[in-house]
Each structure stands twice: as C-alpha cells, then as structure tokens.
Amino acid sequence: MEQEGFIKAIGHGIQDMCYIWAKEMRNAFSDEGVLIFCILVPLFYPLVYSWIYNNEVIRDVPVAIVDMSHSHLSREFIRDYDASPDTKVAYYCDNLEEAKQLAGRNAVHGVLYFPEDFEKRVYRNETSHVSTYADMSLMLYYRAVYSTAVNVANKINSKIQISRSADFTNQEDNVTANPIKSSNVAIFNEPGGYGNAIIPGVLMLILQQTLLLGIGLSAGTARENNRYKELVPISRHYMGTFRIILGKAMACFMIYCVQAAYITLCVPHFFHFTELSDPLALWGLLIPFILAVTFFGMTLSCFVRYRENVLLLVIFTSVPFLFMTGVSWPLSNIPGFWEGVAALIPSTWGIRAFISINDMGATLDEVQKFIIPLWIQVVVYGCTTFLVYRYQLKLTRKRAYSAIENIKNKALAAKTEKGTSTETSDTDIPEEEAENQI
C-alpha cells in the first residue's frame, strides 16, 4: 500500500509539473510583454545589432585640417592622410575654434592640427608633433582618425630616416627604415573589425537579459493576478515546490534552446562573422548557461512585485555586465570587488566560453574553466530558487488558511447574532466550501 501511494504521489507530481509547464508555455505566447522579450526580441534584436557592425570598419571619415605650418612636409602629410581609405580631408580651417564648431555640428569626426614650427623642428633634428583630435562617441571614428595618422607619420619618419642616412642601395634603405621587420597576422579575428570582437559577447548577453526579463514579467503578472499578491497561486497543481520549479524551468529551457541555437548559429552565419564553433562544445556551454540564467532569474523574481520593476532591475545592468566580462574592457583594469561580482553573473562565464568556442575554435575540454563555474551556478541558484519558492508556497498556504479561519469566524458570528442555539452554533461550514469561497 505504501509503495502504491508513493507511485501515485509521483504520478500526481508529474501531472502537476506538466500542467505548470503547459501553462507557462501558453503564457509565453499570450502575455504581450513575455512574448516581446522572450520571442520577438531574441529573434530581431541580434539582427539589428549585427547589421550595424556588419561593415566591421568605417570608411572615409570626414576630418578637418588646421595647417598653421603651410610647409611642404605638412602638405605631404595631408595628401597621404587623404589618400587613406579610412579618412578623407573634408575641410581646411584657419584655427582650432573653427574646427571645433565643425565637430560640434558633426560635420567632421576628427581634426589634425599642424603647429607653425612643424617642418622647422624636423630640419633642426628636433621632434615635431601633429595633434590629433577624434570623436569618441563611436570607437570606430577614433580608430580610423588616430590609426591613419599614426600610419602616415610612420611612413614620413621612414622617408626622413632614409634621407639622412649614408646608404647607397635600396636594401640598405629598407634596413634603415625597418631595422626590425614585423608581420601582423590575425589568427582569429581576421578582418580585424569591431563586429567580430564585440558581437559574440552581445549575443550571449541578449540571451541572458531577455530570459531574465521574461521570468521577471511572468512573476510580476503572477503577483498581480493572484488573490493574495503572492508569487505562487492557490491551486491544487501548485502544492509542491519541486513541481513548480521544474515546470517553470522546463518551459524556459525549451524556449531558449531554440533561441540559443538561432542566435549562436544562424546570426553569425547571416552576417559572415567568425564561426569556428564545435557543436559538442557549443551545446556543452549552452545547456548549463540556460539553466544557470533560468534559476538565477527565478531567484531574482522574488524581488519583483510589479511588472514594471523588472525593467528597472534588469535593463540598466546590460552595459555593466558586458564590461565585467572583459570583452570590451581589459580584465587587468577591473577591480577585485567587481571581479567577484562578475563571477556571480552567468553571462560572465557564458560570454568568455562562447568567444573561445566560436572565435578561437576551442573544444569542450579547453573551456572547462568556464563550464564548471556555470554548473556550480546551476546548483547554487537551483538551491536558492527552491528556498524562495518554498517560502512563497508556505506564505501562500498560511494566508489561505488564515482566510478560511476568517470565513469560519464570520459565519459563526453571523449565526450568533441571529440567535442560533448553542447546539447549532457549533456546526461550522465545511472546509471545502470555505476553500471554494476563497
């Protein structure tokens, strides 16, 4: 009998879990907020973001020239600078103030300033300077303006070195200009563009942030719709902690397995970004990553009282989370405290692992140092999720029983006021009826 009861309890638990899973799947497509953030945003936002950086580099960035030298050497510098594919000389200005006004109107994104003694200092065997001002609103502008100026300066420096040397052959001139020959070979990011460097991290962050928003919106909706404004509703299907957690987690996992496959495989292929990922290593990363983010979001959902709260809680963290991964900011410059905070976020390990797998062709064994922390987060955040929902379930039951007692007391008080006899006043309304009234 005990074994039959145990098997029957397991069967009821599985039925309740499937009921919760089906309900969460329906909510994902019927709730407009969840539909937008969990279905539509992961489908279209990566396309928009990748399209912006698809060109990898910016060509013909307009630059203003302030030439106070008016010398042969400054004109040669300007000609070579204008001949570069990344920049073009758009304006000649009489002073820096005029160039500043052009930059303020976004007519130019960079300024080159040649002082009056630019050529004189070179002929006096002194170091001369060219001041470069770049628009920092977009790093691609800065890169085009500054790197082109450096390349042109190096070219002119080589010519000056050759002209001052006592060489007699072209071979000696080459050695004088380049005593140490170097070759720049891109191993992973072959185009050397910003898109290949930043997009993989952004794609994984989109997966995390949209999943957190979806879980938070669902939790806010549940609190607003439930009778006692609690996370867990009063229902016979929600009477076990494990069935609640597994039902909700299974719905998130199924939806985001599809979204993760689309974002990590299809989006880089559409825009011809670097693709060196091994399928085994990729799924070995995505499974713990999705589970860690799911349990992380379910833990945070206990702080969501209203649907709008999750937007304030999640959206503003996108940029800090990206910086803390070390993709767009050197890890050596991140303080120890923030490194500790970053270790608690699933995207930190997910982004680092995905860049290694997708951009560098790493195998599953080679990214174990990132996979193991994700599995640790799955266990830790799974336990915190259990504690949160266990507490919410007890709180819901407590309020339900309190409501039942209030209904019984009101019924007893009503009978007493009507002069009900002592024999009949002891008769309480059935508990099932009280629960139905709730």
The per-residue pLDDT string of the chain (438 residues; one tens digit each, 9 = 90 and over) reads 566 666 777 777 788 888 888 988 988 888 888 888 888 999 998 998 888 777 667 889 999 999 999 999 999 999 999 999 999 999 999 999 999 999 989 899 999 999 999 998 888 888 888 999 998 877 778 888 999 999 999 888 888 777 767 666 766 666 666 666 666 666 776 666 677 778 888 999 999 999 999 998 888 887 777 766 677 766 667 777 888 889 899 999 999 999 999 999 999 888 888 888 888 999 999 999 999 999 999 998 887 777 777 887 788 888 889 888 888 777 888 888 989 999 999 999 999 999 999 888 899 999 999 999 999 999 999 999 999 888 888 877 777 677 777 777 777 888 787 765 544 444 444 444 444 444
Residues of the domain holding 172: 61-177
Q: Which amino acid is at 181?
A: K
**Does 183 fall in a domain?**
no
How large is the greatest C-alpha to C-alpha distance in the chain, in angstroms? 127
Residues 392, 427 within the same domain:
no
| 84 shares its domain with 144 | yes
Cβ atoms within 10 Å, residue 59:
11
In a domain, 120, yes or no: yes
Return d(Cα 143, Cα 125) in angstroms, integer. 30
User: What's the total number of domains in the chain?
Assistant: 3
- Kindly state whether residues 261 and 284 are assigned to the same domain: yes
Give yes or no for a contact between 410 and 383, defined as CB atoms under 8 angstroms apart.
no
Say if residue 409 is in the same domain as residue 390: no
Note whether residue 337 is domain-resident. Answer: yes
The model's pTM is 0.75
Q: Are residues 101 and 153 in the same domain?
A: yes
Domain co-membership, 215 together with 78: no
Do 201 and 347 reside in the same domain of the chain?
A: yes
- Apex 23 CA angle, 309 and 394, nearest 5: 65
Same domain, 257 and 373: yes
Residue 346 neighbours by CB distance under 10 Å? 28
Say yes or no: 144 and 221 in one domain.
no
Sheet holding 87-93, edge to edge: 87-93, 61-67, 110-114, 131-134
Contact 74, 152 (CB under 8 A): no
How many angstroms separate the CA atoms of 146 and 69, rounded?
A: 20
* Three-state DSSP class for residue 66: strand
Q: Which of 135, 150, 177 finishes a domain? A: 177
d(CA 290, CA 282): 12
Domain co-membership, 352 together with 237 = yes
Does residue 182 lie in a domain region? no
Residues 370 and 418 in one domain: no
CATH code of 170's domain: 3.40.1710.10
Decide if 243 is inside a domain.
yes
Same domain assignment for residues 226 and 114:
no
Last residue of a domain, one of 177, 205, 235: 177
98 located within any domain: yes
